[in-house]
Structure 1
């Protein structure tokens, strides 16, 4: 099956971003506009990308915290209903919600409810992304999970905590993080960014600077994974990952947010030049 090519939509991505910037950067408005333009299957992939924020919001809501990331697919009220009876969440995520709501129920037979809810929830989310139709989403979610696991493992080790408490999901990288005592967890040959993550976590006392360095690794990976995708959903998802990073830094550090926004626009210009060659 051939992927749908969104020539006009991709050509207008810069305009989407610029329009949002003039009103005070609004990532959610950009996502909504894109969802109106893509087909049903690709819209499902876009929503799955944003399912990460739904998981963050579910965890916060279940723990009684007021935090709610507006980039998620659901409002706080909608998620409250999903926690009672999941109907719209990805099935793997819904299964975890049902299992913890009823530890004696059928779903609890396939979910380890003895572990922290958040660990099982995000593990289920990444498992759902691993089965996505979009190549970008599959590869991005694997990268993002590994990056978060490495960062969490380095932090846990420095604090004297058990690494297995913080690692999400399974796979070779997760297992290596839990069993290796090497400084790089024996992963230098497999994860080219691991030294940069370890340095950011261990050497950077400024938490904002640490997060900025790690987000730059995310940014570069998002761009690289879609290097040869110009007009399909992979290109759109890569763009949205970077939009999410811009949105985060617009809130954390306005100056850095503007810098990343300018970089995104410059990269879109670069892609246009490539397409004209």
Structure 2
């Protein structure tokens, strides 16, 4: 029997967060600082798994000879990432060390774009975690993101397979099935919900709906957890969702969001134009 670490005082002292909050009593960065002091070392490492996408982005920039993005809040210091690229010491997570070596050797692990290869390797890394919560959450998020991608590709007549990551049953079905729900709705009840949301032309409402789906998943995953590390992670993940929307509520946040939307639309309009 595996004994879980319990954090009664830490969890009891955290503020409540709700999806419609616009003013936060605690920021994600503030939470990370508190958590680093309160959690055991192995649980801090578990928490930091969810911030590694920033390291992934920074590494991609550095490997492509681009200037580092100083706004990225990485787990590993910029100097550490730069050093690992120039003189590898295997000081980063295994998947990131492997990606750097493969990229430099020009033999990437999967036959998709470098960005997708790194995302694939990252989710594989999470799905090998000793935490069942982390494994299940990672697979759920990967499945939903893959489904969003497949539906968008189908809408604009793009080939689906090169855009899908992962090697589970869900990913394989997205690459091969021509049915409306990719033959997945019976086994994965959330598929129909995602298909419905992706049909909404209001991108803000769509994003809100997808975040609500994620929120509900997190809530259900920890319904019987009270003071465990899983509860800490669920709070953090919900806080990340709320903080993202609170930033979008500001004028600058709305501007950035619309710039992303515009770029997204143009990329597919370009593909559609040259398809005909």
* The two structures share one fold, judged by TM-score above 0.5: yes
Question: TM-score, length-normalised on structure 1?
Answer: 0.79
Superposed counterparts of 1:201-216, under 5 Å: 201=198, 203-216=199-212
How far 1:44 moved relative to its partner? Answer: 1.1
Q: Taking structure 1 as reference, are residues 71 and 188 closer, same or farther at Cα in structure 2, changes over 3 Å only? A: farther
Does residue 143 of structure 2 align to residue 143 of structure 1? no
Does residue 226 of structure 2 align to residue 224 of structure 1? no
Query: Which 5+ residue runs of structure 2 have no aligned equivalent?
Result: 254-276
Q: Taking structure 1 as reference, are residues 82 and 16 closer, same or farther at Cα in structure 2, changes over 3 Å only? A: farther
Distance, in Å, in 1 between the alignment partners of 2:162 and 2:74 is 26
Measured against aligned partners, the alpha-carbon deviations of 1:75-116 in whole angstroms (never above 9, x if no partner) come to 55543444433644210222012110123xxxx4xx436531
Bigger relative contact order (CA 8 A; separation at least 6):
2
Contact residue 57 and residue 67 of structure 1 kept, 8 A: yes
Does residue 159 of structure 2 align to residue 162 of structure 1? yes
Query: Which 5+ residue runs of structure 1 have no aligned equivalent?
Result: 258-277
Q: Taking structure 1 as reference, are residues 69 and 123 closer, same or farther at Cα in structure 2, changes over 3 Å only? A: farther
If each structure's helix is expressed as a fraction of its own residues, which one has the higher value? 1
Aligned length: 246
Distance, in Å, in 1 between the alignment partners of 2:31 and 2:114 is 31
Distance, in Å, in 2 between the alignment partners of 1:179 and 1:113 is 17
Q: Taking structure 1 as reference, are residues 248 and 211 closer, same or farther at Cα in structure 2, changes over 3 Å only? A: same
Which of 218, 231, 243 aligns to 1:247? It is: 243
1:3 maps to: 4
Which of 95, 100, 119 aligns to 2:98? It is: 95
Distance, in Å, in 2 between the alignment partners of 1:93 and 1:68 is 19
1:272 maps to: none
Contact residue 222 and residue 231 of structure 2 kept, 8 A: yes
Distance, in Å, in 2 between the alignment partners of 1:251 and 1:221 is 23
Measured against aligned partners, the alpha-carbon deviations of 1:223-251 in whole angstroms (never above 9, x if no partner) come to 11111111111111111111111121122
